[in-house]
């Protein structure tokens, strides 16, 4: 990509966040400046920035933007305002755990240095946000390296939604695996679900894959089963927005259906995600909060009415794939197979140390 998904411009006191507005892709490449907390929140809620890792990075920078007006305040007032800013950002989208994880790091950054004044803490908040972004780039490379070994040479690989550079600060999660496999000369072809109702696969994933020179075929969501039955697909890989301690994984709506289809057709189903996407406070996927979005995304997608007035809608943004349907989880620390709470803890740890 010629423009980064996220970038910070300037110093902590007067700088701002710049986002690649994903709602305008693939036809228009446009950057959005976020100079106020409200700008960052709106960008997250409206999916101008999306993907669990990218949301986490945006939130960390959003803390800096939100706290700039309190740079000259007392530490007591600064800390009170920080609690409000992080709460506002945490409420912007409920499912992606990277959001809460990044905000927790920002909060701890301030709490751990009570002797510093507000201006110094603001500087540290920016340093922490930059660190989160840099770590995510390294994480994406490691995920790609580990996952590429799982891809069959000459395979057709199906993916859903967008888990590439647009969803992270680096090369992606699921797409990092595909990029790495392609770079190794494994001659993969990628089938991309359009991903209803907002077409992240059609608009974003195809845009990234074709720019990387990977043979790419776009299909409707409802064609996945037939593609597997026809022998076009030898592996499925997606990202995730939150993974429970037992390996149940929340991802874009439609992912669960793919996992069921993959099991029926004996196709391996992989999920690629960083350690920060795991929520060890949740025993299973039944506890993962599922965001429900406005029904207009279904009835008036992209501004054109496609359903009768007054029709009822149900628009969950995510679903949960049970661990038993997941062949392996690909993380920056290695591949987790089989997907059990014991194996997850062995590879990742449960306290962040591994």
| 241 catalytic residue (yes or no) | yes
DSSP element (H, E) containing 278: strand 278-279
Which pLDDT belongs to residue 192? 98
Distance CA 239, CA 273 (A): 6
Closest CA to 51 of 85, 29, 22, 75: 22
Distance CA 94, CA 22 (A): 20
Which tokens hold the place of 191? 């089938």
Rg of the chain on CA atoms, in Å: 20
pLDDT at 337 over 60: yes
Which pLDDT belongs to residue 351? 58
CB atoms within 10 A of CB 39: 19
User: Residue 208: is it exposed, middle or buried by C-beta count within 10 angstroms (0-12/13-18/19+)?
Assistant: buried
User: pLDDT tens-digit profile of 87-143?
Assistant: 999 999 988 899 999 999 999 999 999 999 999 999 999 999 999 999 999 999 999
Distance CA 184, CA 214 (A): 12
Please report the beta strands in 107-174, taking only residues with DSSP state E, as ranges in sequence order: 156-159
Distances (CA, A) of 273 to 48, 156, 167, 328: 21, 21, 11, 11
User: Residue 122: is it exposed, middle or buried by C-beta count within 10 angstroms (0-12/13-18/19+)?
Assistant: buried
DSSP element (H, E) containing 191: strand 189-193
Choice among 39, 241, 248, 319 that is catalytic: 241
Distance CA 214, CA 207 (A): 10
pLDDT at 73 over 50: yes
Distance CA 336, CA 277 (A): 14
Cα-Cα-Cα-Cα dihedral sign, residues 56, 57, 59, 60: positive
Distance CA 295, CA 312 (A): 8
pLDDT-derived band of residue 2, with 50, 70 and 90 as boundaries?
low
CB atoms within 10 A of CB 294: 10
246 contacts: CB under 8 Å, gap ≥ 6:
283, 284, 285, 323, 340, 341, 344
Distance CA 277, CA 259 (A): 19
pLDDT at 1 over 70: no
pLDDT at 352 over 60: no
- In the chain, which residues fall in CATH 1.20.120.420? 6-140
What is the chain's mean pLDDT, rounded?
A: 96
pLDDT-derived band of residue 350, with 50, 70 and 90 as boundaries?
confident
In CATH, the number for domain 6-140 is: 1.20.120.420
Which pLDDT belongs to residue 354? 40
User: Residue 146: is it exposed, middle or buried by C-beta count within 10 angstroms (0-12/13-18/19+)?
Assistant: buried
Q: Which CATH architecture has domain 143-348?
A: 3-Layer(aba) Sandwich (3.40)
User: pLDDT tens-digit profile of 13-51?
Assistant: 999 999 999 999 999 999 999 999 999 999 999 999 999
Distance CA 217, CA 256 (A): 21
Which pLDDT belongs to residue 353? 45
- In the chain, which residues fall in CATH 3.40.50.10470? 143-348
Distance CA 339, CA 181 (A): 23
3-state DSSP assignment of residue 8: strand
């Amino acid at each position: 990509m010629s423009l980064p998904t996220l970038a910070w411009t300037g110093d902590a006191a007067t700088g701002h966040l710049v986002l690649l507005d994903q709602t305008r892709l693939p036809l228009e490449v446009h950057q959005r400046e976020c100079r106020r907390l409200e700008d960052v929140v709106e960008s997250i809620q409206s999916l101008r920035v999306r993907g669990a890792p990218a949301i986490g990075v945006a939130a960390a920078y959003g803390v800096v933007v939100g706290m700039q007006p309190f740079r000259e305040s007392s530490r007591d007032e600064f800390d009170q305002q920080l609690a409000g800013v992080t709460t506002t950002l945490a409420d912007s989208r409920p499912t992606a755990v990277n959001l809460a994880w990044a905000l927790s790091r920002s909060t701890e950054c301030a709490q751990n240095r009570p002797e510093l004044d507000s201006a110094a803490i603001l500087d540290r908040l920016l340093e922490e946000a930059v660190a989160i972004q840099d770590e995510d780039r390294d994480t994406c490379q490691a995920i790609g390296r580990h996952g590429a070994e799982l891809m069959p040479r000459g395979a057709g690989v199906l993916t859903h939604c967008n888990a590439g550079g647009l969803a992270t600060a680096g090369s992606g999660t699921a797409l990092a695996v595909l990029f790495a496999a392609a770079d190794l000369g494994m001659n993969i072809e990628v089938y991309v679900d359009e991903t209803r109702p907002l077409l992240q696969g059609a608009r974003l994933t195809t845009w990234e894959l074709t720019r990387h020179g990977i043979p790419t075929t776009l299909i409707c969501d409802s064609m996945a089963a037939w593609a597997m039955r026809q022998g076009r697909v030898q592996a499925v890989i997606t990202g995730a927005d939150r993974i429970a301690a037992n390996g149940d994984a929340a991802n874009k709506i439609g992912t669960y259906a793919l996992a069921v289809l993959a099991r029926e057709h004996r196709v391996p189903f992989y999920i690629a995600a960083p350690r920060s996407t795991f929520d060890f406070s949740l025993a299973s996927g039944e506890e993962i909060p599922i965001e429900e979005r406005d029904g207009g995304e279904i009835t008036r997608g992209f501004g054109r009415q496609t359903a009768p007035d007054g029709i009822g809608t149900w628009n969950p943004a995510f679903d949960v794939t049970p661990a038993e349907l997941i062949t392996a989880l690909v993380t920056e620390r290695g591949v987790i197979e089989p997907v059990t709470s014991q194996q997850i803890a062995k590879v990742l740890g449960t306290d962040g140390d591994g």
